[in-house]
Amino acid sequence: MTTARGPWRADGWTAGVRERLGLGRLLPLGTPADGVWIAETAAASVLRGAAARPGAVLGELRIGLAEEAAPGEGTGAGAGDAAAPGAEDEDGAGAPRAPEGRGGSVRPPAPPSALPPGPLRIEAEFSAAPDRPLPDTAAALRAALLTAAAARLGLEIAEVDLTVTALLEDGTPDQVTEAPATSTARAAEPEGTVAAAAAGAPGVVSLTRVLGSPVHTARDHVRVEVATAGNSRALDVARSVRTAVAAATETRLPVSVLVTDVVGPGRAPATEPGPAAV
């Protein structure tokens, strides 16, 4: 039966799919025991900004596992691909059993379709100025990417594969392009004690809602989505969120954190739209 809200629901479902796809891969941040992931788009934005330097224009940049898992080895349905809305029920029905860590400690499961924990690989293309040795330009870019990945994010990068695609012509601005000024993650107001605890953790700009509610509670874990401040290491912020949420959660369930955006000066997550006029 068709209802008046049918088209609205279809549009909302489509928008949700596009938004989740816009995050790119969900990358493991820190160690497996940390229970933290970050959106590829958020990580790439930080890396692009950190690699800005004369003599090169950074092109396509992707981040994935250093050794890609064989089909079926990733977490969720199709590792690295965004899940469709509804892939995880709010009450935790059908949720996977949380794996055990060392010493019997329970780790929270990964977000839907997130990459499993492990060393990562950066693949990037760039154009270079012809008046500088290409090996020197590549070495400077590689060092900048590795430093930013560790110091500003907390990513474990095992490899950086750079490919020169073109030489810059005279008069071409020879600097790495800046990240987009807008965010694909929607900011969400904290509702409830747990959400307020997460939003109040140091370095949190806002809660976000991309995979569902900002605080998703299943039968075996709690997952929180946040946007972090660009002047704080994303992993450190996420650890603070985990500590705050664990203290505020009566059930003492394992807590995982998904960083959907890293917000620099002059940027902020998009605010949620108000109710549509009827």
Integer CA distances (angstroms), 243 to 109, 112, 114, 255, in order:
17, 22, 22, 9
pLDDT in tens, 147-168: 999 999 999 999 999 999 999 8
Chain centroid offset of residue 231 CA: 16
At residue 222 the predicted structure's pLDDT band, cuts being 50, 70 and 90, is very high
The one-character DSSP state at 253 is -
The domains of the chain, with CATH numbers, are 40-78+109-177 (3.30.70), 181-271 (3.30.70)
The answer to whether residue 7 scores a pLDDT higher than 60 is no
For 169: left if phi > 0, alpha if psi spans -120 to 50, otherwise beta; the answer is beta
Model pLDDT, residue 20: 56
At residue 98 the predicted structure's pLDDT band, cuts being 50, 70 and 90, is very low
Mean pLDDT, rounded, of the chain: 77
Model pLDDT, residue 172: 57
Give the strand pairing for 222-229 and 215-217. Answer: antiparallel
Model pLDDT, residue 168: 87
The answer to whether residue 12 scores a pLDDT higher than 70 is no
Extended strands (E) in the chain: 26-29, 36-39, 56-65, 120-128, 157-167, 186-188, 204-208, 215-217, 222-229, 255-263, 270-271
pTM equals 0.76
Give the C-alpha separation, 212 to 198, whole Å: 16
* The amino acid at 55: G
| Region of poorest pLDDT, from 8-12, 40-44, 56-60, 227-231 | 8-12
Q: Quick check: 26 and 113 in contact, CB under 8 A?
A: yes
Model pLDDT, residue 275: 41
At residue 185 the predicted structure's pLDDT band, cuts being 50, 70 and 90, is confident
* The amino acid at 173: P
